[in-house]
Chains A and B, each alone.
Chain A
Amino acid sequence: MTRSPEPDENSKPSSNIGGGGGGVTTAMRVIIPLQGVVQGRGGVFLGSVIPCALFYFLQLYLRRNRDDPREADDRSNPQNSEPRDDSGSSGQQLAEIHGFHRTSSRNLLSPRSPAGRAYVSGRASVIAKSPGGSESPYYAGMRKATEDPYDETGNPNGIIQLGLAQNKLTMDLVKEWLVKHATEAIVGGGGDDGDDEHLSINGVSTYQPCDGLMDLKVAVSSFMSQCMEHSVSFNPSNMVLTAGETPAIEILAFSLADAGNAFLVPTPYYPGFDRDVKWRTGVEIIPVPCRSADNFALSITSLDRAFNQAKKRGLRVRGVLISNPTSPVGNLLTRETLYSILDFARDKNIHVVSNELFVGSSHGRADEEFVSIAELVDEVDKERLHLVYGLSKDISLPGFRVGVIYSFNDTVLSAARHLTRFSPVSGPTQHLLIAMLSDVQFVQEFVKVNRERLRRTFDAFAGGLKKMGIDCAESNGGFFCWANMSEWISSYSEKGELELWDKLLKTGKVSVTPGSCCHCIEPGWFRFCFATLTEREIPVVLERIRGVAESCKSQS
């Protein structure tokens, strides 16, 4: 079914009202033309949109009515407040008070009066209620796991968290480094400024360039090269640092697209994109479905189809947002695929944003080659290429909030430098990371050990699932097993998938991410983050999953 552009246009006024609370009269102004559309064209689609819109207005109407008593309360307030104002004031102030009584009564009569409660913004009410906000399984699972976390001795019946992308496998190395290099503590100043030899927070806590210290950019560049086995070298002056990948992606969305434009994003994708790309920017995401039959590899045909569908809906596509290694699946994009994406982007004259968050965590076979988008830069094309990176995954420091925008487009870089003022990296953290990432030996060792451990844990976990008959997609990078549990779901639909997810959480006490949160079009896939598991926990988790799987089998 293809969608016609009309419904989108029609639904816009309704959202404006949500923000403005214009009232029933405004609502009627929208409903009447809506009726016109129905009579004019009809169709299944409009048949569904119009009842929705009407229902929305009904709710709006009810909400206004429910608020009335409260408004009345508020209106009676001035009288109450008068004595108080009188007590502490002179005659002049009294006059002022009378002054605004008069104006306020005029307000109530004026057609433009802001009668009704003061609304928060439309954006805020959407976010506060949004399913993508807190109540999608992705966030609900995380919350549950935080409330009742598993602990081998303290809380052996708690929930094991496999829903949050974090890597605890190699944290001991980072900790060890800190013990050894404690002299370079955040307040050490570390001799990078010969001026103050003594302990000083001057230079750490004072104002700094908001897009990150040059020293840290240099250190991050070399770390990125290290993760990519030196196949690319990065220029620190093309880099902007932000407080995590979340703002990095949002800033790129703000810079590359206007509200109402769209990005093509291959599915399954990282659930956070819905927040990062869409929430505050008003930019849309057009999912580009990938299928299990091709191990979720991206095909240009589906990219092209999605582009054309978007165009038909009247959406202007501004770019493709890819992840490499893909998340959650974990496969690497081949050089050919990347070239064809670039050709596609050139052909359509759009941007390519490559999210290479997991590059240092690629743990696949040696013959699988990781190709960064930065490798493919040639003079003509580089202005449309942008890379997103961060230190939360590859060096497992998500709490430190360091994200990276690497772009070849000077205008984007300059905009990003201004925009990152809203989400800068904290000073002490920058200084600590400069010291840590500049230690080449440590970085080499870390990346190597991290890869080994990821591979080992992946093999153990995926192997365990395999024994139960659960297949995982082939993965070469990242923290996830992308597991096919479609045989265990009661009905081949999102509903069946969520039932199993709920059972895993409540009965199995394992928090995972259902594929529907990643916008996977095939039901029954689940994302398991294995990188938080210790060797001892793996059998515990597998046992719990087996328990749930068996109960499913016996039911069917």
Chain B
Amino acid sequence: MVFKLNNQLLSRMAIGDGHGENSSYFDGWKAYDSDPYHHQNNPDGVIQMGLAENQLCFDKVEEWLKKNPAASICTPEGVAGFKDVAIFQDYHGLPQFRNAVAKFMGKVRGDRVSFDPDRIVMAGGATGAHETVAFCLADPGEALLVPTPYYPGFDRDLRWRTGVQLVPIECDSANNFKLRMEDLEAAYEMAKLNNIRVKGLLLTNPSNPLGTILDGDTLRNIAAFTNENNIHLICDEIYSATVFGKPDYVSIAEIVDEDRKSGRNVLNLDLIHIVYSLSKDMGFPGLRVGIVYSYNDVVVSCARKMSSFGLVSAQTQHMIGSMLSDAEFVEEFLGANRARLAERHGAFTGGLGRVGIRCLRSSNAGLFVWMDLRRLLKEQSVEAETALWRVIINEVKLNVSPGSSFHCSEPGWFRVCFANMDDETMEVALGRIRAFVAKHKEAMKPARKLCAQSSLKLSFSGRIYDEFIMSPRSPIPQSPLVRART
């Protein structure tokens, strides 16, 4: 008897949709893929603003590669190293690579802290790094707390194969989506009441999608909280080199360092883990370099064994190792990266500001802005947000990501990436937004009146508006650089 194999013979994982790619975040990508913008060939195509990719400093990297042909083992200068690299499959990683990455991580944090190369564990991109951490810290059914809005990929990276749950902590615009201690405590208590075993807290700092950073005190309080409750603290710091404005960035590594140097030794280091990657800071997502940096020896050893499942090609390790060992280059790159991101951010938010669209004002990092289109919603609901998003994709032809895909509790927010395109494309995108807003002027106006009816909302948005204009980070161009461009 011959019977056809049916889906029941596959695992639940293979049949299920745990990959989460049915969400609108990924839908937008599909829309872009089928009709991508090209300044000559397809000027009416969709512009990709849903991809947090940093292409602003590729010229620097290219310049370096030209000057250092030996770094890539497939040039006549570099081929001498070929044999050692081609057969290298030790999951510890090339020593040069680990040293260079550790040094780079320190450099990004202003050399205020140093990292131990022996704790650098490789993974297949930040995606693989997150999964590895989740595998190491939690068993199926156990949970991690995550403040919202958070990166949509976490639902896949942390949950899918590990069976770990995510418990959202809701943050809202009233205080710029900053995590409040009482919300953290409440979420933790609530999870316990529901018999969910919470194993840790996952922070994205700088935040994706908000582009904000946590201040030192908040981070200290959070660390004290996780420490006291004996749960893990996982800090996703993959955007740490994209902090382009004041206040300065504070890494969890600095909090750890502070704790140790002051001799207090309050923090249990076994509970602290950092996820890092070169995808955002260097703009190398195609290289798939993810890093787990844990202060916990068991996690380091376990993650290292697991890294067999997502090793970085030795060729890439070799190249990255040479590139990041070049202190002069790193210095220059980081400086240029910050300056260009600041400039682009200013130009983009300024352009939006001129048509009356605001973005989260406290943002000083990241490759994106968190755009407030609440006034354009027909009603304050996720359905209205999705409807507006479809209009933006199909009519405005911009692939932006709706807040609901980031589990944002308030409808009407959108993440717009600005670093994956050249200046001309950005101008085209701004032009489309301008045209769209002009067309919907009527829609914008009643929305304002609606706000006026509620005195609470009026004062609230008025405050935002004032601070928005007056703040030194105001997107209304103030720097001569930006002014010269416009």
Q: Across the interface, which residues of B come within 8 angstroms of A384, CB to CB?
A: 5, 9
CB distance from A109 to the nearest CB of B (A): 12
| Contact residue among A204, A244, A411, A421 (Cβ-Cβ distance under 8 Å from B156) | A421
Find the B residue at minimum CB distance from A106: B189
Alpha-carbon gap, A316 to B426, bound state (A): 56
Are the C-beta atoms of A243 and B181 separated by less than 8 Å?
A: no
* 506-527 of chain A: CB within 8 A of chain B: none
The reply to whether B66 and A182 contact each other, CB–CB distance below 8 Å, is: no
User: What B residues does A349 contact at CB under 8 A?
Assistant: 3, 5, 9
Partner of A99, one of B139, B185, B232: B185
Q: Which chain B residues lie closer than 8 Å to A99 at the CB level?
A: 181-182, 185
| The stretch of B266-274, B345-353, B381-389, B391-399 that contacts the partner chain | B266-274
Q: With A118-B231, A201-B62, A425-B288 in contact, is A175–B79 under 8 Å at CB?
A: yes
Instruction: Give, as a whole number of angstroms, the nearest-CB distance from B20 to chain A.
Output: 9
- Contact residues in A for B156 (Cβ distance below 8 Å): 418, 421
Contacting residues, chain A, for B131 (C-beta < 8 A): 422
Kindly provide the distance from the CB of B290 to the nearest chain A CB, expressed in whole angstroms: 10
Task: Flag if A401 contacts B232 (CB, 8 Å).
Answer: no
Interface string of A85-107 (1 = CB under 8 A from B): 10011000100110110011001
B47 smallest CB distance to A (angstroms)? 15
Contact of A400 with B62 in the complex, beta carbons under 8 Å = no
Contact in complex: B230, A114 (CB < 8 Å): yes
Query: Across the interface, do B124 and A422 meet the contact criterion of CB distance under 8 Å?
Result: yes
Q: A84-B220, A187-B72 are in contact. Are A121 and B137 (CB under 8 A)?
A: yes
Interface 9-residue window, one of A72-80, A230-238, A460-468 = A72-80
**Dominant secondary structure of chain A at its interface with chain B:** helix
Residue interface mask A170-207, B partner, CB < 8 A = 1: 01001100110110111100000000000111111111
B58 → A minimal CB distance (Å) = 6
Chain A residues with CB below 8 A from B10, complex form: 255-256, 409, 411-412, 415
Q: A258-B11, A280-B306 are in contact. Are A20 and B197 (CB under 8 A)?
A: yes
Mark A4-35 against chain B: 1 for CB-CB distance below 8 A, else 0.
00000000000010011000000000000000
Chain A residues with CB below 8 A from B225, complex form: 100
Q: Which of B62, B87, B271 contacts A187 (CB 8 A)?
A: B62
- From A185, A244, A412, A424, B125 is in contact (CB under 8 Å) with A424
How far is A78 from B221 in the complex, measured between Cα atoms in Å?
Answer: 11
Contact flags (1/0) for A111-146 with B, using CB distance below 8 Å?
010111110111111011000011000000000001
- Smallest Cβ-Cβ distance to A383: which chain B residue: B5
Q: Mark A423-445, 1 if CB is under 8 A from B, else 0.
A: 11111110010000000000000
1/0 contact string of A191-232 vs chain B (CB within 8 Å):
000000001111111111000000000000000000000000
- Say yes or no: B313 contacts A182, CB within 8 Å: no
Residue of A nearest to B314 (CB): A399
Q: Are B286 and A186 in contact (CB under 8 A)?
A: no
Q: Which of A81, A96, A247 contacts B181 (CB 8 A)?
A: A96
The answer to the question of B449 belonging to the interface, with a C-beta cut-off of 8 Å to chain A, is: no
* Interface residues in B, total, Cβ within 8 A: 104
Q: Cα distance A43–B202 when bound, in Å?
A: 49
* Cβ distance B303 to chain A, nearest Cβ, rounded Å: 8
Nearest-neighbour CB distance to chain B for A270, whole angstroms, equals 13
Is there a chain B Cβ closer than 8 Å to A346's Cβ? yes
Residues of B within 8 A of A425 (CB): 288, 313
At the interface, yes or no: B284 with Cβ under 8 Å from chain A? Answer: yes
Q: How large is the interface on A (under 10, 10 to 19, 20 to 34, 35 or more residues)?
A: 35 or more
Q: Is the CB of B137 within 8 A of A124?
A: yes
The residues of B that contact A335 with a CB separation of less than 8 Å are none
A168 in the interface, Cβ–Cβ < 8 Å?
A: yes
Q: Cβ of B315 and Cβ of A429 under 8 Å apart? A: yes
Determine the distance from Cα of A176 to Cα of B200 in the docked complex, in whole angstroms: 51
Check B199–A118 contact: CB distance below 8 A: yes
CA distance A432 to B318 in the complex (A): 14
Could you say which of B206-214, B293-301, B453-461 contacts chain A? B293-301
Known contacts being A81-B266, A199-B62, A399-B86, is A104 close to B125, with CB within 8 Å?
Answer: no
A120 touching B53, Cβ below 8 Å: no
Q: Which residues of B contact A133 (CB under 8 A)?
A: 305
Cβ 8 A contact of B313, one of A103, A112, A206, A426: A426
Q: Do the beta carbons of B66 and A199 come within 8 Å of each other? A: yes
Known: A88-B217, A118-B270. A399 touches B137 (CB 8 A): no
Across the interface, A100 reaches (CB within 8 A) one of B65, B185, B299, namely B185
Q: Which residues of B contact A356 (CB under 8 A)?
A: none
B342 at the interface (CB under 8 A from A): no
Query: Contacts of B79 on A, CB cut-off 8 Å?
Result: 175, 178-179, 182
In the complex, chain B residues whose CB is within 8 Å of the CB of A93: 217, 221
A258 touches B12 (CB 8 A): yes
Assembly CA distance A400 to B319 (angstroms): 13
Q: Establish whether residues A202 and B309, one from each chain, have CB atoms under 8 Å apart when the complex forms.
A: no
Query: Any chain B CB within 8 A of the CB of A455?
Result: no
Indicate if A457 sits at the interface (CB-CB under 8 A). no
Smallest CB–CB gap between B188 and chain A, Å?
Answer: 8
Indicate if the CB atoms of B86 and A171 lie closer than 8 Å: yes
- B residues 80-124 near A (Cβ < 8 Å) are 82-83, 85-90, 124
Query: A127 to B314, alpha carbons, bound, how many Å?
Result: 24
A362 within 8 Å of B (CB atoms): no
Bound CA span A175–B156, Å: 40
* In the assembled complex, A48 has its CB within 8 A of some CB on chain B: no
Interface presence of B224 (CB below 8 A): yes
Q: Which residues of A contact B137 (CB under 8 A)?
A: 120-121, 124
Interface 1/0s, chain A 513-551, versus B by CB < 8 A? 000000000000000000000000000000000000000
Contact of B266 among A77, A97, A185, A255 (CB under 8 A): A77
Q: Is the CB of B73 within 8 A of A117?
A: no
- Which of the residues B86, B264, B314 comes within 8 Å of A84, measured between beta carbons? B264
Query: CB-CB contacts of A291-322 with B at 8 A, as 1s and 0s?
Result: 00000000000000000000000000010000
Extra pairs beyond A179-B79, A400-B313, A422-B124 (20, CB < 8 Å)? A121-B139, A124-B135, A175-B79, A178-B73, A243-B288, A247-B309, A254-B161, A256-B9, A351-B5, A398-B88, A399-B85, A399-B87, A401-B312, A411-B7, A415-B13, A421-B127, A422-B131, A427-B286, A428-B287, A429-B313
- Would you list 9 pairs from A and B whose C-beta atoms are within 8 A, ordered by A residue? A20-B197, A77-B266, A100-B181, A124-B137, A146-B90, A205-B285, A207-B53, A392-B89, A398-B86
